[in-house]
Every structure is written in C-alpha cells, then in structure tokens.
Structure 1
Amino acid sequence: MRFPTPPRLLALLSASLLAACSSLAPTLLTLPEPAPHQPEGQSGYQDKPGWQTSSFAVAAANPLATEAGYQIIRAGGSALDAAIAVQMVLTLVEPQSSGIGGGAFLLHFDGRSVQAFDGRETAPAEADERLFLRPDGQPMAFADAVVGGRSVGVPGSLRMLELAHRQHGQLPWARLFQPAIQLAEQGFRVSPRLNRLLAADPHLRKDPVAAAYFYDAKGLPWPVGHRLRNPELARLLRDIAAQGSQALHQGPVARAIVDKVRSHPGNPGNLSLADLAGYQPRQREALCFEHAVPPAKAYRICGFPPPGSGALAIGQILGLLQQTPAAALPLGANGLPSADWLHHYTEAARLAFADRAQYVADPDFVAPPAGSWLSLLSPDYLARRAQLIGPRSMQIAPPGRPQGLQTSFARMPEQPEYGTSHISIVDAQGRAVAMTSSIEDAFGSRQMVRGFLLNNQLTDFSFVPRDAQGRPVANRVQPGKRPRSSMAPTLVFDQADGQLLMSVGSPGGALIIHYTAKALWGSLHWGRNAQQAIDLPNFGNLNGPTLLETGRFPPASLDALRARGHELREIDMTSGLQAIERIPGGYFGGADPRREGVVMGD
C-alpha cells in the first residue's frame, strides 16, 4: 500500500526546508547556551496560517506524520487508527521527542465518553529509591543519570496503543504501520529541526549505533535534506504489524534492549526481560472539571489523571485565576498578556506547582490527598489558596492542605523535565484523540536499539527520595512505579450539551502545563482561534523565577513585573502546541510556529 505525498504537502515541506536552512545555517554547529527547563533546543520561528477543514483534522509535530494520519482517515480509519500511524512515523522522523521506546498518555472520545489510556513507562523490578544517588548519598548530576542504561524505564506506548486499538480501531492493526515502514525503507529528508538538534547534542555520538545512523564519518549530523533510511526499524515495524506488541516486549528485540541497558560500559541499568514481558497499560478515569467563563459560558475540560500532573495543575491555575482580577482582564492593546494578568497567572502557577511537588505521583503507590485528586480542584480549596495572591510576588509558594490534610510526604525538589510530542485528531465521525508521547530528554537515554531510541523516563522520578527528616517523597523511585509526568493531553467540551469543542496539548517538560493553559485561556477567555492562541508568547512559573519567552514582551511589562517583586528570566520557550477546535461548518487547526507541525484534513 502506497501513501503518495500530495502536492500541498510537498510545497509546504520544500518551503519549510528552504526557510529554515537560510535562517539556521550560519549557527548550525554552535552549541546553544544553557537555559533553564528547556526540553529541546529552539530551531527558529515560522508563522503558520492555521488550517480550516470541513469533516476531519489531524495535527502532529511533523508534516510526514500528519500526512500518515490524514491518509489513514481517508482510508476509513478512526481517530485512534490515525494516531497509531502518526506515532509510528514520529518514531522515525522525530526521534528526539517520542517513539516506541517510550511512553504516552492518550485521551479518547468516542462520541459519548472520555477514556484515559496510560502507557507511561514503569521502573524495573530491581530499581529502588537510591537509583539516582551517588555512593556519598548525594543526587547524581542530571546528565550523568540520563546517558546510558540507568535511566531507561519499561516502554509502554506500543502496548497502550494496542489496547486502545482493540477497543476503537476500524482498520486492521497491520495497515497502520505501512506509512512508517515505507518511509523507513525508502528514506525521509532530514528536517532543519532534527539537523539542528543533532548538531547541538553532546551525548548521542557516544553510542556507536546512534552515531552510525545520525552522523557521517566525520561525526557531523546528516545535512538538511539528506535522505535517511532506517531498514532496521522497518523490519521491526513489520514484525510489530504482524505479531503485535510482543515483537517488542518479548523475543530477540527484548533481549537486545535488555542487553543494551545492562551492558552499558559506564552507566548500566537494571531492566530485565521479565520487566518487558510483564508491562501492562492502564485504563484510568479521565480527570474532568468545570470551567466557567463569564458571563454565561461553561466548559468541561478533561485531562489525564495521576501519574499525570498536567490536568491537575492546569485545573488549579485556571480555577485560581477565576478568583482574581485576572478573570476579567482582556488581552492588552498590543495583543499580548498584560503585566497585571501575568502577575496573577504566575502567582497562581506557584501555588499549583507547590501542590504538584507535594502530592502528585503514581496512584498505584500514593493515595490522593483527602481521598480524591479532585480535592485539589475544589472551589472552596482554590478560594482559600487564592487568598495568598497579593499585589506582590510571594516568591515561593507553600503547598496547601485540602480539607486540613496532614501529609507524611516530603516536597519533591525541583529538577529538570524534558521533551515530548503531541497529537490531536478529530475524525469524520466526531471521535477525537489527544495524545502526548515522550522519550523524555531529547534523544532519550542516547541508546539506540533496532532503529529506535530508548527512553530516559526514570529521571522523571525524584533523584532525592527523602528529606532531611527521613520523610519520603511521593514521586520517589519504587519497583514497578510510573514516574510523575507533566504531559497534558486535553479535550474541551461544552458543559451544556456535551459537544466536543477542542483537542489540545504540547511538549515541553514541566512547561507543558503552561503552554496548554495558555492555549486554553487564549481560546476560551480571549476568543483567539486555535492558531492565534498558540502564537501568543509563552510564559510560566515553576514556583521560582518567572519565565518569559525571549523578546516577546515589551520592556514596560518586564519593569512592571519586577516592581511587583518578580525575578525574571527570558528564555527560548520552545513549545510544540497542536490544537483542533470545532467551528461552524467543521474544524480549525493550529500548529506551533516554534516547531515543524502542520494540520491536515478534508
């Protein structure tokens, strides 16, 4: 089965490559300056128009992946079928962000109800809470922990997609792999973003397999436009198409994964064949909450429950803002959030991130506060928390106590979280997917096996398992546990009639929460369409300095925030938002100008 590339996609790809080449070539081999909390390096900014469709829409982080999903729906596939095809192509063309060596959270709407499919990685059975401690008891440096086998969790995305396909697939499983197999065999053109990230990464060349695939004989990344073939991945995808997920989780590929992890010369891990064979995805109840927009509009926003922290933090931020003057503030006359609004937003974010650090972890290991995760979204609780927001920044917010809760857990210290990819799809029958997938850091653990990269998701656990008093951190390493995640796939509904209104999400480590919240507020409160909401400048706070996208805010806004006590850091906040919204007569999709994504549909 062939998947021809339509003229409109060829034109888009050619224009993207030419524009990015001209802007990136002079600095291609320059390592970026380190900046806090950056999942992946920036690779330019290209204005995008947004895309209107009449019957269905597919939004993904790479045009080739979007095209695969588009063709699957055109062939009679469901939104879930298209998501599988998209993810397989992303494994090939966006290896820095996600793939079959990692995990994913998937929200699915079948026209009646929302399901949450958890394909998050798990810690090996031999892991313990001291996994990331040095012999002297101090936490390892992040880079020392990531590169090698130590950080590799049991991958879960493939088994999760297999489970979801059994319930919601329309086309045969094997057919969904054909776009990726064809691209892997015939080759794909190296994109400007992949080239830029390959040039900047200091660790990937250390793995001989990855070095031979991604770099030339001189150790330079293959140039933009180079046709890169991956016959090993093609063979594996053929096996998965025929045998299902067992082709990855058992047999020779599983043995190759375990050998790679356990035999790393400097930083071995403890993944086992039993870990891979025994992995089970979870079906969880979606975390949904009401969000009112004056004067008379109410929405039902559904996201992913723990071990996801995204929906809880977004729900808290949106709910806290409703208790402040920010709820009535429009966009500024310059089309940007005002300093007054940013102050209230970042103070609300401090409060949400304080609770996140205190409470959120794998619910199979950690009970929710006050017996329910929704206790953190209770209007009464948020009203009390909002009283802490004053005219000046509180600098560091304390965690709250839902229903007077006394907790025995220690607060998790801040540590880096890294990259992901997001897919939003609505099919012609109104079924919808919001899926965020990840291998964590850019290029994961930098360990390549059978044509794909292994994750480093175990570094999403707290490196420090206990505080000075011996109290455990909720998100510490434990055997079989799933690390806390910021991934925030989101579906928005009209509270009155239940109609699906939007599918949205982003990559970006902990900043996923802010990118997704920005898109939601921009759409629901400020009336921006999906593309305009995505285009708004990025901002956020992780309960520390206030982060602002470099060069996007006027000096007067920066001065006003400093006058309120904010410590500011301007950084390149490389979001990768994808969004599809319902409009009269069809859908309108947006893709982040900071990355390579596009939207397609009929």
Structure 2
Amino acid sequence: MTIFTTGRRWPLALLSATAVAALLAACGGNDDSPVAEPVEQYVPPEPPSGYTPKSIAYANKDMVAAANPLAVQAGTAILAKGGSATDAAIAVQMVLNLVEPQSSGIGGGAFMLHFDKGSNRVLAYDGRETAPMAATPNLFIGADGNPLAFLTAVDGGLSVGTPGVLRMLEAAHKAHGKLPWKDLFEPAIKLSEDGFAISERMSVSIAGSAARIKAQGEPGASYFLRADGTAKPTGTLLKNPELAATLRAIANGGADAFYKGDIAADIVAKVTRHPTNPGKLALSDLSNYTSKVREPVCGVYRTKYRVCGMPAPSSGGIAVLQTLGMLESFDLAAMKPNTLDSVHVVSEAYRLAYADRALYVADPDFVSVPQAGLINADYLKGRARLIDMQRSIGTPVAGTPPGVVASRGADSSLNLPSTTHLSIVDASGNAVSMTTTIENGFGSLQMVRGFLLNNQLTDFSFTATDSAGKAIANSVQPGKRPRSSMAPTIIFNAATGDFEGAIGSPGGSAIIQYTAKSILGMTDWGLNVQQAINLPNFGAQTNATTSIEKGSVIDTAAIRDGLRARGHTVAQTDTFTSGLHGVIYNGVRANGSAGLLSRNPAAGTYAGGADPRREGIALGNN
C-alpha cells in the first residue's frame, strides 16, 4: 500500500490579489466543455506554508488535535484540570484567536458537533454569522450594475456579518461545560499579555496579505507589519494587550460583554464608518444574534460506520455523506489509495456532490433544503450509476433528489473560508469536532479591540438570480446565514453506537474533499489517522477539472495521462492547504473489541493526527 509520506518542504508561496485572480482563471472549466452557468472555483484562502511530517500521537485519558501547539497545550491543560471537551474547545479557540488570527477568532463564526457519551447523543451547534438586517440581495452589486470583484467586496466593512462563535460556545458551555467559563480564557489572556513567538505560518500569511493590511491602516498595520510595511518575521515576540482586555471582559461578563455595550459599539463603528467600503451591521444585529442547535446529518457507510456531520446551512456534512454514499457502489479497498482508478472514481463522486450542493444547499430557515433527499440511499445509488470508470462526467449536472419543492438557480459563490479545525475527546468520552472561521485570510482586515472581524457575507452568492432568472438559494437576505463547506465530522460504530473518531479540516470549498479522503483512508484503506491525513489531496467540483496535489505520490505522468485519457482536465496545484486534525478511539473496549478505526490498540486509548501541511499537533494526557 502506498502512503503519502514525503519529507520535503514546499516553497513558501505568497498569494497577492493578482495571484488570486490568476488562480481563478487557471482553475476554470474544461475549454472543450462549455459551462452553462458560472462554476465554483477553488482558490486557497491562505498561502501554503510547507510540509512538515508529523508522527501519530497516543494518549490514554484524553486528546486534543488542533492547528497550533500553544492552543493544543491550552486545551490539554484544561482537560487535565477536569474540564470537558467543550471547555477545552473554548480554551483552544481563544488561543487560536491570538496565534492564528488569519484563520479564526471571536470576530467570526463556527460549527460544532458535540457527542455526549452519557446520553449517547450528537448535537450540531450552529454559530454561523448572519447577514445584517439592513442587507439586501444587491449587497455586492456595484454602481455599474455588476457584481463587485471579490477583494473589493472583502476589504472593509461591507463584508462583515454578525459574529456567532461566542454565542455558540456559551450555549455549548451551559449544556456541557464542567469548569467555570472564566477559567477557560486564562491561557489566552496570559499569552496575550506575556507575548508569543510568531510562527512561520503566521508570518507567511501576513506576508501574503501585507499590502492589503497596510492599505486598511491602523490598528492592524502596526500590529502585523514592520515600519517598512513588510511582515513581522517568524520568531518575533508579539503581545496583544487589547485582546487580553477584551477576553477578560468576556470571561467576566459572558458573551453579553461582546454582543452588548462598548465592544459591540466599537465593532459597529468600525464596520459602518469605513472610509471607502462601509457595511450594514447595527447594534441590534449583535444584541439579537442567537446561535442554533440543530440535528446532525448522519448516514451509515459500508454497514459498519455511522458518519455524522453538520447540516445546512453547511453543505459540508451533506456533501461528505453524498460522496460516501455514491462510493459504496465501488470496491475502493480493491482499487487501493493513490491509484488512477481511485483518484478517478472519488473525483467523479465529488463532482456529483458539488453539483447538488451548488443548487440546493443554503440556510434552511430561508429556503427549502432537500437535506434528507440528498443523502437518501436510493438517490445516491442512482447518482453513482452516472459514474463510468473509463470516462469522466466532465461538467456535472445536479440531480433531482426526493423533497425538491422549487426550481433553483446555479450558484457561483466562491466560498473561500480562512478556517481552522479542532478535534477533542475528554476523559469521560465526550467529543467535540469544531470548525471555526473568519472566511478569507485575516477576514475583512478590520481589527477591533485586538481581534479581526470576518468577511463572511462574501460566502453568499453575489447575485440573487442566475442567467436564466432563477432564484439562487444562497443569495443575500437579512438575518440569513451564508452557506458553508465546513464539515466537522464524528464517526461511530453503526452497530453499537460507540464513538470511533472526530475529524475535520479548514480549506474553503475543498474542506469536503479533505474530510472525505481521510474517512476513506481510515475505513476502506485501513490507514491510521495520521496516514489518512497524510494522503495526497485531490478533487473536483462543478467543472471538468480534476486538481491533484503537486509533488505528491499521485502527481505522476502515469496518473495525469490516465486521467486525461478518461476525459479529465488535470491541474497540478501546490495550494491544497488542508489542515486536518483528527482523534480516533484506538483502544480495546470492555467487551474485548477494538475500535473500528484502531490500528495499534496497545499504544494508547486514543490516537491523534495533525496535517503536515500546517503547524498543528495532537496531544493528550495519560
């Protein structure tokens, strides 16, 4: 079995606005296959920062896998004090706000799956941002009547949605927390005051956005940049006393300290008084924001695994389950990973899932989403029959799942969230899988009281109708939540209900592909969690192009030529910057059976993996 274990390091590429535009053009559809509607393109929200091989981690009591060692240490410290998985997730998020500000923070939103072992129940916590009540479907239409360019819409106040992560975490803590809310902010407050060394990834990310950061002025310019306008280098000691004060206020006053009062007023002022690109956010949007608790979407894969994900307004859980459901019709184990056949068939399943995603998935509080129909087993078997092992579908067409009640227009949203993921299991066996985001790298570039504000509204379609005049499900509406690709996932034993693993990833619309390939690695291909995360990234969306990770074991002439012979347009990319973090049950249960995903039960009760394409780790207490 071939496993992606290269030890090389990639060049530190930077993405300017010009580079983004070039990538958009390069990722287009097959020139030989005209596309009736605009297709969604994949552009990485953050520049790549190399490839550093990681070792699988083991622990007996609990485990945290997340995107930065300082955040992971904060989470494991909370667990060591008797904290729950939710407690640890809060501590991890607050530290990530400080040390990975380009990806997530209290100015953004999140989706979280929580498994409560005592009740044997999974809940889906929705902390997605909402559109201001003053927003209109033409929010991103310029004076000339055309949609704004992406970065024109992003930089400034116009793209800022009502942040949701703090309300969501507070609701989850009230239901599942064990330690006092206040205690969970202490690690981030201390690091903010004492300072931390800027990581290589953070410095590279700053450099990639330096000109835009400078253009937005203070306070972000002097916080992230040197006097000459270049990025503060790796190793620079960075302190953030403003963030410390903000976090202390929230620790003492709860989420109300953020959504009401002086902090809320400063957020609204920053958004609405932007000199060139003001937004619509109002104090009432903040004070009235509520997180939601939803039922997860779940499906059984190959009779053994019950896979649960985030429901709409995320498309992530639905698309992952669609991909798995279609692939059940194929013997992936016999194909082996990293082969022409497996790359072909998995890419074809992605195409069909993304076509349905683009047409049907949006905020279910505003549009009818045929969620049950999209993951219906018979429907997915029918979709699988469209996959020909010898010929690519090319540009995919959405199906008609059970439950469709209205004709929809094709959505061309980019969906480029700058995001992070964390997976946690506590000593009681409760688990959290949480993906959290501020959308593009550094969000809207608007900094308030030590944290950045999101640009989540650009996850909506910039137009309300397609070229045929059909309404687009993911169009802007007041109070609506934009569609997401975030796919926090928890896997169970389908027969017993036992927890088997938690995994997810950042990476924009490619999150679906990253998460699915890791699940396939652990289930069909018998890999441990680290090996599954290491697998090369590849995939397709709503066009004929299949992208493969440049320099990986599948980036060979034989596979590229083989795909082309089957009708794929092949693109090599070194910007498949996944950030997978997973924890699986690796032990032997009381009945003597090992976990379904266990590969070395003697090593520890839990095993964790972290993506070599980012700087995270997995760590636990024994």
- State the TM-score, normalizing by the size of structure 1: 0.92
Which residue number in structure 1 is paired with residue 436 of structure 2? 437
Distance 2:415 2:434 in 1: 22
Check if 1:245 corresponds to 2:255.
Answer: yes
Describe the superposition over 1:524-556 as per-residue Cα deviations: whole angstroms up to 9, x where unpaired.
Answer: 110100000000100111122111111112210
Check if 1:175 corresponds to 2:183.
Answer: yes
Report SS of the residue matched to 2:65.
strand
Which residue number in structure 1 is paired with residue 582 of structure 2? 579
Q: Which moved more, 1:28-37 or 1:457-466?
A: 28-37
Describe the superposition over 1:467-515 as per-residue Cα deviations: whole angstroms up to 9, x where unpaired.
Answer: 2332210000000000000000000000111110000000001000000
Which residue number in structure 2 is paired with residue 528 of structure 1? 527
Distance 1:441 1:561 in 2: 31
* Aligned with 1:119 (options 107, 113, 127): 127
Equivalent residue runs for 1:350-499 within 5 Å:
350-369=351-370, 373-390=371-388, 391-403=390-402, 405=404, 407-499=406-498
Describe the superposition over 1:16-73 as per-residue Cα deviations: whole angstroms up to 9, x where unpaired.
Answer: xxx99x9878x78999954342121100100001101111100110000000000000
Q: Is the 8 A contact 2:14 2:47 kept in 1?
A: no
Equivalent residue runs for 1:130-529 within 5 Å:
130-201=138-209, 202-207=211-216, 208-292=218-302, 298-324=304-330, 326-331=331-336, 336-369=337-370, 373-390=371-388, 391-403=390-402, 405=404, 407-529=406-528
Distance 2:106 2:405 in 1: 40
The code of the aligned residue for 1:137 comes to G
Describe the superposition over 1:428-472 as per-residue Cα deviations: whole angstroms up to 9, x where unpaired.
Answer: 110000000000000000000000000000000001110233221
Q: Is the 8 A contact 1:506 1:577 kept in 2?
A: yes
Quote the offset at 1:94 in angstroms.
0.3
Distance 2:463 2:540 in 1: 22
Describe the superposition over 1:409-430 as per-residue Cα deviations: whole angstroms up to 9, x where unpaired.
Answer: 2111252423110010001110
* Aligned with 1:102 (options 98, 102, 108): 108
Which residue number in structure 1 is paired with residue 89 of structure 2? 83
The code of the aligned residue for 2:437 comes to S
Q: Is the 8 A contact 2:314 2:486 kept in 1?
A: yes
Describe the superposition over 1:259-299 as per-residue Cα deviations: whole angstroms up to 9, x where unpaired.
Answer: 1101111111000000011100001011111111xxxx511
Distance 1:452 1:479 in 2: 25
Q: Is the 8 A contact 1:32 1:200 kept in 2?
A: no
Quote the offset at 1:383 in angstroms.
1.4
Report SS of the residue matched to 1:412.
coil
* Aligned with 1:567 (options 557, 569, 577): 569
Q: Is the 8 A contact 1:98 1:439 kept in 2?
A: yes
- State the TM-score, normalizing by the size of structure 2: 0.89
For the aligned residue pairs, the C-alpha RMSD in angstroms reads: 1.8
Distance 2:11 2:168 in 1: 37
Check if 1:74 corresponds to 2:74.
Answer: no
Describe the superposition over 1:179-202 as per-residue Cα deviations: whole angstroms up to 9, x where unpaired.
Answer: 000000000000000001111113
Which residue number in structure 2 is paired with residue 601 of structure 1? 620
Distance 1:492 1:225 in 2: 38
Q: Is the 8 A contact 2:10 2:49 kept in 1?
A: no
Q: Is the 8 A contact 1:330 1:526 kept in 2?
A: no
Do the aligned partners of residues 267 and 90 (structure 1) sit closer, same or farther apart at CA in structure 2, a change above 3 Å counting?
A: same
Q: Is the 8 A contact 1:37 1:418 kept in 2?
A: no
Q: Is the 8 A contact 1:411 1:473 kept in 2?
A: yes
Task: Name the % identity.
Answer: 52
Do the aligned partners of residues 31 and 481 (structure 1) sit closer, same or farther apart at CA in structure 2, a change above 3 Å counting?
A: closer
Which residue number in structure 1 is paired with residue 593 of structure 2? none
Distance 2:404 2:606 in 1: 44
Distance 1:177 1:385 in 2: 47
Quote the offset at 1:137 in angstroms.
2.3
Check if 1:57 corresponds to 2:63.
Answer: yes
Distance 2:484 2:439 in 1: 10
The code of the aligned residue for 1:359 comes to Y
Unaligned runs of 5+ in 2: 1-6, 24-41, 588-603
Distance 2:514 2:278 in 1: 35
Give every structure 1 segment of 4 or more consecutive aligned residues whose post-TM-superposition deviation is greater than 6 Å: 22-25, 27-32
* Aligned with 2:610 (options 591, 594, 599): 591
Distance 1:236 1:47 in 2: 36
Q: Is the 8 A contact 1:358 1:399 kept in 2?
A: yes
Unaligned runs of 5+ in 1: 1-18
Which residue number in structure 1 is paired with residue 36 of structure 2? none
Check if 1:40 corresponds to 2:58.
Answer: no
Q: Is the 8 A contact 2:373 2:403 kept in 1?
A: no
Q: How many residues align?
A: 570
Distance 1:534 1:32 in 2: 31
Quote the offset at 1:339 in angstroms.
0.9
Describe the superposition over 1:96-133 as per-residue Cα deviations: whole angstroms up to 9, x where unpaired.
Answer: 00000000001001101001110000000000110111
Q: Which moved more, 1:258-267 or 1:463-472?
A: 463-472
Distance 1:195 1:591 in 2: 20
The code of the aligned residue for 1:445 comes to S
Q: Is the 8 A contact 1:108 1:114 kept in 2?
A: yes
Q: Is the 8 A contact 2:115 2:122 kept in 1?
A: yes
The code of the aligned residue for 2:532 comes to A
The code of the aligned residue for 2:613 comes to R
Distance 2:431 2:332 in 1: 29
Q: Is the 8 A contact 1:329 1:341 kept in 2?
A: no
Distance 1:469 1:526 in 2: 44
Report SS of the residue matched to 2:299.
strand
